[in-house]
Chains A and B, each alone.
Chain A
């Protein structure tokens, strides 16, 4: 007996990525650089989030020929993004054979009310979340992996920190909540009771939790791992830096040895004197309508 696309094999692939770094790439050549640096997976995109942010307009699923050329260029898993709620884009990426689909607020949402019914697919999905309620709603819909939303393409870690702390605090609160409160807590979180009960009993999400949205330096990666991330997505932080090869290797090393400041020093020193991380944005100066994290809650 052989069963494909089960919850176990979908969540399982995310478990295999733990402790690793997933990098946004826009060409097969960048994908090879990422793999050489030690990335555990790549996210195949037409434009990295910083450029999506700068261009404005409508951001859609990437060109399929580009995604396929990236799948052909590397042996590590390849992820790709679909617009929130875009059933057909998701079906197309599954048929193309990508290993993971990111239902992402970085693209312009296709559905302003509903996310995909992700249990219907063989391909696993990752979704962004700002707090525990959002994370559990996405898991209820079938997400096999959760990432903080952060604020993609901003070069600013503050939103990722806020979201990772909110998810962690939400989990910790449930672990000490008396049983009779769980139904009301589920109502307040807007999440199903079975998932709320799971978190209360296990002190963790039933799927892997990564950080995304604003990581630009080795120290950023170490920070997020210390705040409870099980791995790191780096979007614009690598290919908007002045030395993508050095930054990608250094962020991988700092993620592996995140709890050892000496290793983070070594990773940071490996960048050299001229290293400049990507430019960052002060998010207090960005109008509410331009923030990506508030899409799809």
Chain B
């Protein structure tokens, strides 16, 4: 790419600063997105970790649901970490929770348990290299079921925890909390034509 991609990080709630710092370490220009105007100025978007019920309500309250869906359907790359993956999903297993319905998967929330079961795991992700990735799972979701064209890039405990469908990426864990830039780089490579 000629110029650095402008990556937005949805900043209604969650670990926004951590993603901005990680994206910049990986070679992008990143900034917080709270408004329609900031969304329109972004080449790609990350939905960070946080609380999915909170962020879905705020997207709705601040009229960002339709503009966000329209941008993604027009091809804007989107990556959700943990809460972000829940918000992107088609459905939440066992709950009547509204979502954006962009990533064609059903996710199970708090799938590993409550906070006491949150864990650091050495995770095999062949798509980013041989060395295991230090994956941090916090009250994390997993992929309960996925459409045929969803590629499972990593699994843990028998369930998908990193998936890709075209220009959409979802991770159950938090690469932004580690110093390892490989998953952020993987996402930035998805932006290249």
Contacts and interface: CB of A to CB of B under 8 A. Distances in A.
B164 to A, nearest CB: 23
Contact of B115 (A15, A75, A100): A100
B119 A77 contact: no
Given A2-B119, A2-B121, A12 B54 contact: no
Contacts of B57: 36-38
A256 B34 contact: yes
Contact of B116 (A4, A18, A36): A4
A16 interface: yes
B101 to A, nearest CB: 19
B51 A15 contact: no
B12 A77 contact: no
A16 B16 contact: no
A97 B114 contact: yes
Given A2-B120, A75-B110, A123-B116, A15 B49 contact: yes
Contacts of B144: none
Given A1-B121, A4-B117, A40 B13 contact: yes
A257 B12 CA distance: 8
A19 interface: yes
A205 to B, nearest CB: 13
Contacts of A98: 114-115
A257 B13 CA distance: 10
Contact of A9 (B13, B83, B109, B138): B138
Interface size bracket, B side: 35 or more
A12 B118 contact: yes
A19 B118 contact: no
Contact of B83 (A16, A35, A249): A16
B119 A13 contact: no
B13 A20 contact: yes
A116 to B, nearest CB: 16
Contacts of B58: 38, 252-253, 256
Given A2-B119, A5-B116, A40-B13, A15 B177 contact: yes
Interface in A69-104: 71, 75-77, 94, 97-100
A50 interface: no
A67 interface: no
Interface in B158-178: 174, 177
Given A75-B110, A94-B116, A18 B13 contact: yes
Given A38-B58, A39-B54, A76-B51, A19 B139 contact: no
B20 to A, nearest CB: 12
Contacts of A12: 15, 49, 118, 136, 138, 174, 177
A59 interface: no
B91 interface: no
A99 B95 contact: no
A20 B116 contact: no
A276 interface: no
Contacts of B139: 13, 16, 77, 99
A199 to B, nearest CB: 17
A124 interface: yes
A122 interface: yes
A246 B136 CA distance: 36
Contact of A40 (B54, B61, B110, B121): B54
A13 B34 CA distance: 22
A140 to B, nearest CB: 22
Interface of A: 1-6, 8-10, 12-13, 15-20, 35-41, 71, 75-77, 94, 97-100, 122-124, 249, 252-253, 256-257
6 contacts: A2-B121, A9-B119, A12-B138, A13-B139, A38-B58, A256-B13
Closest 9 A-B residue pairs measured CB to CB? A99-B115, A19-B13, A9-B118, A15-B15, A40-B51, A38-B57, A4-B119, A16-B49, A38-B54
Given A12-B138, A16-B82, A18-B15, 5 more contacts: A3-B120, A16-B14, A17-B51, A75-B95, A77-B51
